[in-house]
A and B are shown apart, each in its own frame.
Chain A
Amino acid sequence: MVYLDNAATTGKKPMSVIKAVNSTLLELSANPGRGGHKSSVRASEAIYGVRQKVAKLFGASGEDRVVFTPSCTASINIVLKGILDRGDGIVISSLEHNSVTRPCETLRKSGVEVSVAEVIFGDNDATVRSFERAIKSNTKAVLCTHASNVTGEIMPIAKIGALCKQKGILFIVDAAQTAGVIPIDMQGMGIDFLCIAPHKGLYAPMGTGILIAEKEITHPLIEGGTGVNSAVAVQPLEYPERLESGTVNLPGIIGIGAGVDFVNSKGIENIYKAELDISRYIYNGILKTSGCVLYTPIPEYGKFVPVVSFNIRGISASDTSELLDKADIAVRGGLHCAPFAHKRLGTIEGGTVRVSPAIFNTKRDADIFLFALKRISFNYKNSKKH
């Protein structure tokens, strides 16, 4: 199997992550923060160590601001529903995933004003001006994806962060496609809330998410047991426990720690370069394949994450994906849960086929994919002649 759907989740996990998860289940299976016995304390210490690693990697102000969640989507919901009230406004970009647009639609129905800032392809300054125009007197927060999961475009996060600071507005970043792939510095980029999918660029197990909350969440989405002050009726104010009610995913969190170590050992810049090199190779191969249409310029360093969207003219994205699957190649066809981005590309009816390499993919994988693609396109063309 050639796995090229790493924007959904990295298909191959490092052996160090697998071993860390296994050894947690074998040797550290106690509920952290729920007891005074040695096993529970060891589990708490292990989680604390992962918080430190995550805080350092993303430039957070402290490990206590690192909250573990079940997914990046959960992180986004915790922030949006935790800070916005009736009458408040939020500005989102025109590239957002359903993980953002759906909770925003719920908030809109409850009296939150949702505005959309148009992303201007290839012109970061114009995109920042779009955000500036969309900001109103009631705007409490801006939310922007760090990179599109459909086109791979990287957004001018530092510039939008500076705009938010200037206006006194909270800045939320969806880093599902970028954490572990390109450098993120929360302090330097003016990010107040960073939402992360560690099972993607950090090579952690699925079912994990991270929220780094530099500012207060006034209404926790989930309330319940935190292991402290148990007789008190209200949710504690201290972070991260305020946002971590219920037993946390200890094996998954330890897997995040091992994933961070893996990324650090390779170097984010090296990972990014290797993945973008493969993306560019794939892009050029698709470009030379008869009958294919691409939707972006060739992915340039610093402007794109390793994601390439395309279609074969006359074949639906889902059929192309299915034919590739028959050749043991995993890609993702459809709307990628991001209808906004597809409306912009003009592909809302059928979506696109998305190819997204990760560090374990090789040029050989790309060649196998391109060979299969040429064969599918050739067979389709021949079938039309007869």
Chain B
Amino acid sequence: MKRYFIITGTITYAIKCRDALRQNGYKAELKRTMNSGGNVGCGYGVVTVSYLDEIKNIMSNYGIRYLQIKREGE
């Protein structure tokens, strides 16, 4: 498992993303960012420790749109 930062387009999707990860047993926290997935300006995301494929599956299963998934520190 690695530490990832999932960048979402909205605070609503960030909360939805955090809750979905928690429901699947992963720790997840909201985080404000200035790097919002290639767009310029403020945004929100979720920091979690998980597997990349697992994160993508959860996002897909819960219908959560995200802009980017980054390894923390990259």
Contact = CB atoms under 8 A, between A and B. Distances in A.
A345 interface: no
A226 interface: yes
Interface in B9-28: 9-13, 15-16
A238 B43 CA distance: 13
A355 to B, nearest CB: 40
Interface stretch (A33-41, A110-118, A211-219, A320-328): A33-41
Q: A interface, by DSSP: helix, strand, loop or mixed?
A: loop
B62 to A, nearest CB: 9
Given A64-B16, A229-B43, A33 B31 contact: no
A306 B22 CA distance: 44
A132 interface: no
B73 interface: no
A236 B32 CA distance: 17
Interface in B30-74: 30-32, 36, 39-44, 63, 65
Contact of B12 (A35, A48, A231): A48
Nearest to B64: A64
A214 to B, nearest CB: 13
B31 A236 contact: no
Interface residues of B, number: 19
Contacts of A41: 30, 32
A36 B32 contact: yes
B10 A226 contact: yes
Most chain A C-beta atoms within 10 Å of own C-beta, residue among B11, B36, B42 = B11
A45 interface: yes
A227 interface: yes
A232 B41 CA distance: 7
B40 A228 contact: no
A63 B16 contact: yes
Given A35-B32, A62-B63, A228 B42 contact: yes
Contacts of B9: 228-229, 236-238, 241
Interface string A234-275: 001111110000000000000000000000000000000000
A213 to B, nearest CB: 13
A44 B32 CA distance: 12
Contact of A238 (B31, B32, B41, B65): B65
Contact of A232 (B11, B32, B40): B40
Interface of A: 32-33, 35-36, 41, 44-45, 48, 51, 62-64, 226-232, 236-241
27 contacts: A32-B11, A33-B11, A35-B32, A44-B11, A45-B15, A48-B15, A64-B10, A64-B12, A226-B10, A227-B42, A228-B11, A228-B42, A228-B44, A229-B39, A229-B42, A230-B40, A230-B41, A230-B42, A231-B41, A232-B39, A232-B40, A237-B9, A239-B12, A240-B10, A240-B12, A241-B10, A241-B11
Nearest first, the 5 closest Cβ-Cβ pairs linking A and B are A36-B32, A230-B41, A231-B40, A231-B41, A33-B11
